[in-house]
Chain A
Amino acid sequence: MQYSLAALLRNALSGNTHWSPAWRDPQPKPSYDTIIIGGGGHGLATAYFLAKEHGITDVAVLEKAYIGSGNVGRNTTIIRSNYLLPGNTPFYEWSLKLWEGLEQDINFNAMVSQRGVLNLFHSDGQRDAFARRGNAMRLNGVDAELLGPNEVRRLHPLLDLDNPRFPVKGGLLQRRGGTVRHDAVAWGYARAADRRGVDIIQNCEVTGLRIESGRIIGVETTRGTIHAKRIGLAVAGNSSRLAAMAGMRLPIESHVLQAFVSEGVKPLIDQVVTFGAAHFYISQSDKGGLVFGGDIDGYNSYAQRGSLPIVEDVMSCALALFPSLGRLRYLRQWGGIMDMSMDGSPIIDRTPIEGLYLNAGWCYGGFKATPASGWCFAHTIATGQPHAFNAAYRLDRFASGHVIDEGGKGAVPNLH
């Protein structure tokens, strides 16, 4: 047994230098049945489900840097399924169900914590919109509770409910929502996929796609040419760059989103709380640091760092909700590059190139989607057809007018 009390003692006495790696570091083979480009959460989950659900184990995951270096290791770890529209609700609820069974499934402690996600509202109009959202969720079998200000006050005594500009009128609570340790998701899926025979190849950047008479036949990489008859793109913020290698232009812009962590303190905020008057959300990690973030910087970016106006904006949102946080110092801040789609919803679909599949457009909400995205993308690649759960996430919906306007802002581009 690799992990046991005896192994723990033995390795502690030898300075923890003899643990064997949790997954192999194979050389790329000249060809595979299926290649997944991108070793983030979605790519690793896809490889895992290809092996587990469809028996396809001749699979390589090609990652240009190391596992977890992308958004899967940069997000604020929030999971939820509080969606309104028919194209979204079943998909995100399936994802939450997969989160609920994740640790048993992959035998890895990912610290899935269903502490609840509370979305605050600040006006009568917003209460109506949230009541409607909660009702739509319940009609779809998803849990939702509409709370008044007193119930919110009991849950979060530090909130400034009587803020004169944005008084808290209540909140929509999804108790099954919460947080998951993001790095553990990458590691857990990597190990589980590896054990089923998937090759995880790090430091292998895809530099070109080989296409012959409308069919994908392989990839050019920094470690040579690798052939495959099916290839899935799951490269998040780099989706447009990879698609351009196949001559495609996507309905996507890449933008940076920042996140912040404060010094560690005793338990202060038990749930995930979001501000309804501006873009801001906060939770507390198990180490005690407050983890929070807000808006994207707002202009195309491939630089994994943010700018100062957003720092100021996020901090003022934090203080508007929880004035007592003014005494805290923030320790760390970073950015990740996100694939912002034009209607704010993702794409899991085939492409006009035979054998080439696309998983993209996750905006700032793709972490919670990780298990279902992998599950649906694996289904789409293995069968050549989308599953009912991802049927609405079509690439051609922008041309056909079937955009998914979850935010309810109307059918205009740049909805993000």
Chain B
Amino acid sequence: MRLTCPYCGSRGNDEFVYLGSADPVRPSHHDAPAEQWTAYVYERTNPAGAHRELWHHSFGCRSWLIVTRDTRTHEVLKTEPARDAAHTSSEVAVP
């Protein structure tokens, strides 16, 4: 599998480090109930199909990316810098 970094171009996936789903949103530190934290820390949708996920280009430009990939075929549907996604949506967790 290869990923296309928006900054560095097409690279082998061994240049990247995987974190997991980009969907969980960190609950509020002040008043979120424990169930929200359990869901955020442990529960995953784990779809067979399109999956938005965080990859770090560790052996390249060291940017965080959000890759949308089909988990059945490894076809990459979209790659965007995580910071862009964070700016356009308040619903995205950036580590």
Contacts and interface: CB of A to CB of B under 8 A. Distances in A.
Contacts of A244: 45
Given A300-B71, A414-B20, A399 B46 contact: no
B24 to A, nearest CB: 10
A249 B39 contact: yes
B20 A399 contact: no
B32 interface: no
Contacts of B71: 254, 300-303
Given A241-B48, A398-B38, A399-B34, A303 B14 contact: no
B38 A249 contact: no
B43 interface: yes
Given A241-B48, A251-B44, A252-B46, A302 B13 contact: no
B1 A253 contact: no
Contacts of B42: 251, 342, 398, 413
Residue with the greatest number of chain A CB neighbours at <10 A, chosen from B20, B41, B46: B46
Contacts of A413: 41-42
Contacts of A302: 48, 71-72
A3 interface: no
Nearest to B19: A414
Contacts of A301: 71, 74
B9 interface: no
A249 B14 contact: no
A362 to B, nearest CB: 15
Which of the four size classes fits the interface of chain B?
A: 20 to 34
A136 to B, nearest CB: 26
B44 A303 contact: no
A407 interface: no
B95 interface: no
Contacts, number: 63
Contacts of B47: 240
B53 A299 contact: yes
A324 interface: no
A203 interface: no
Nearest to A307: B1
A240 B45 contact: yes
Nearest to A302: B48
Interface string A392-403: 000000110000
A342 B24 CA distance: 15
Interface string A223-242: 00000000000000010110
A120 B35 CA distance: 41
Nearest to A254: B46
A190 B35 CA distance: 40
Contacts of B53: 299-300
B65 to A, nearest CB: 13
B51 interface: yes
Nearest to B16: A299
A309 interface: yes
B76 to A, nearest CB: 12
A173 B14 CA distance: 34
B13 A307 contact: yes
B7 interface: no
B89 interface: no
A299 B1 CA distance: 11
B73 interface: yes
B21 to A, nearest CB: 8
Contact of B35 (A251, A299, A303, A399): A399
Q: Which 8 pairs, one residue from A and one from B, show the smallest C-beta to C-beta distance?
A: A240-B46, A251-B42, A309-B14, A249-B43, A302-B48, A398-B42, A299-B18, A399-B38
Interface of B: 1, 12-14, 18, 20-21, 34-35, 38-39, 41-48, 51, 53, 71-74
16 contacts: A240-B44, A249-B39, A249-B43, A249-B44, A249-B45, A254-B71, A299-B13, A299-B53, A300-B53, A302-B48, A303-B72, A307-B1, A398-B38, A398-B43, A399-B34, A413-B41
Interface of A: 238, 240-241, 244, 249-254, 298-303, 307, 309, 342, 398-399, 413-414
Given A240-B44, A301-B71, A302-B72, 5 more contacts: A250-B44, A251-B44, A254-B48, A300-B20, A300-B51
